[in-house]
């Protein structure tokens, strides 16, 4: 998803280092099958096993770095889109994902893992990688596909505020956990030492801000549908198929499934533009939900 958006942002015909990205994803899949023992460094493994699985866990950072630098290189050609909220969401995702990856390299060393094991440092690590990384991609996908599914744009000013609120809340909530973990606070405790009060207070404030940002996102979506600001144009090159359709996309849209139908409609729009103008109807909430489900089901079948 991030690679696709970066491609459209730069108006290129192909992804930068496509072969490298595919190889990186394949390498992550393969290496991911042989690193599971890094969850068991403290069970009394022999030295050779510790060295092998610690090394393979560190090596998985190489293909991940290839993906990150490819995204950054593509974004380098899209600086003129810095006023777009989705641009900052992608940068935020890269920052959060990279922060979690750096702490993952620390945990992959069996010696350091003996210190950080079963502490809040581990909680901070996997929340940066899994929770924040996954949530960021969900928000990016929503911002990206909502105009196509609903036919309405999301307010840019509100999206800026939501991005700022989310980034502040995420980092206030989870970054102090690195310090509480390094100071020795174990996981799964109901009462902690008063010395950790300030750091936990900061984390609680960040968690509250994060929850508020989630409700803020629901408000932005409702605001878009309620006030109905129609889409004028979409991202990318004018050669994209989506430039030839009316938004929101109708159910079972033949533009995306039948090249013959697409070409005939393209000719019709080119030579007889006035005959293809039809009034737009405001879609219902049910139709938007059905369209989003059809998009997700098509993506899953692929």
Position 169 pLDDT exceeds 90: yes
Q: Are residues 267 and 180 in the same domain?
A: no
Domain boundary among 198, 227, 256: 227
Q: Are residues 13 and 159 in the same domain?
A: yes
According to the model, what pLDDT value does residue 10 have?
74
The answer to which of 2-11, 85-94, 188-197 has the lowest mean pLDDT is 2-11
CATH classification at residue 15:
1.20.210.10
Structure confidence by residue, pLDDT tens digits, 252-286? 555 555 555 555 555 565 555 444 444 445 555 55
Residue with more model confidence, 90 or 275: 90
According to the model, what pLDDT value does residue 214 have?
92
Q: Are residues 43 and 78 in the same domain?
A: yes
Domain boundary among 182, 198, 227: 227
Position 149 pLDDT exceeds 90: no
d(CA 136, CA 138): 5
The answer to whether residue 157 is domain-embedded is: yes
Contact 241, 265 (CB under 8 A): no
Position 87 pLDDT exceeds 50: yes
Average pLDDT (125-149) is 87
Q: Are residues 74 and 191 in the same domain?
A: yes
The answer to whether residue 234 is domain-embedded is: no
According to the model, what pLDDT value does residue 235 have?
57
Structure confidence by residue, pLDDT tens digits, 1-22? 888 888 877 777 778 888 888 8
The answer to whether residue 129 is domain-embedded is: yes
Model's pTM, two decimal places? 0.76
The answer to which of 126-135, 224-233, 260-269 has the lowest mean pLDDT is 260-269
According to the model, what pLDDT value does residue 202 have?
94
Number of domains in the chain: 2
Q: Are residues 278 and 197 in the same domain?
A: no
The parent domain of residue 290 ranges over 241-301
What is the percent of the chain where pLDDT is above 90?
27
Got the DSSP string for 190-226?
Answer: SS--GGGHHHHHHHHHHHHHHHHHHHHHHHHHHHHHH
Q: Count the neighbouring beta carbons within 10 Å of the beta carbon of residue 121.
A: 25
d(CA 69, CA 21): 10
According to the model, what pLDDT value does residue 216 have?
94
Angle in degrees, 0-180, between the axes of helices 47-59 and 85-108, rounded to the nearest 10:
160
Q: Are residues 76 and 121 in the same domain?
A: yes
The answer to whether residue 213 is domain-embedded is: yes
Domain boundary among 188, 203, 227: 227
* pLDDT band for position 238 (cuts 50, 70, 90): very low
């Amino acid at each position: 998803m991030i690679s696709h958006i970066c491609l459209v942002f730069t108006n290129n015909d192909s992804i930068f280092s496509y072969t490298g990205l595919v190889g990186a994803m394949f390498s992550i899949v393969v290496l991911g099958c042989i690193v599971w023992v890094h969850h068991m460094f403290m069970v009394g493994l022999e030295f050779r096993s510790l060295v092998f699985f610690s090394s393979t866990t560190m090596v998985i950072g190489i293909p991940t770095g290839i993906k990150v630098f490819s995204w950054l290189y593509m974004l380098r050609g899209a600086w003129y889109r810095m006023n777009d909220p989705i641009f900052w969401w992608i940068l935020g995702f890269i920052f959060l994902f990279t922060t979690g990856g750096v702490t993952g390299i620390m945990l992959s060393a069996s010696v350091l893992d003996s210190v950080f094991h079963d502490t809040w440092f581990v909680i901070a690590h996997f929340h940066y990688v899994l929770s924040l990384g996954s949530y960021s991609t969900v928000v990016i996908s929503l911002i990206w596909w909502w105009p196509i599914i609903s036919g309405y744009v999301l307010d840019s000013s509100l999206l800026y505020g939501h991005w700022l609120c989310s980034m502040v809340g995420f980092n206030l909530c989870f970054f102090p956990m690195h310090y509480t973990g390094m100071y020795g606070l174990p996981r799964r405790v109901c009462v902690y030492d008063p010395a950790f009060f300030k750091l936990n207070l900061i984390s609680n404030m960040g968690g509250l801000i994060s929850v508020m940002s989630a409700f803020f996102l629901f408000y932005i979506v409702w605001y878009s549908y309620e006030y109905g600001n129609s889409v004028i144009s979409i991202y990318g090159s004018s050669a994209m198929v989506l430039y030839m359709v009316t938004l929101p996309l109708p159910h079972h849209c033949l533009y995306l499934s039948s090249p013959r139908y697409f070409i005939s409609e393209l000719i019709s729009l080119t030579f007889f533009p006035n005959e293809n103008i039809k009034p737009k109807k405001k879609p219902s909430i049910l139709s938007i939900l059905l369209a989003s489900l059809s998009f997700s089901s098509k993506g899953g079948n692929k």
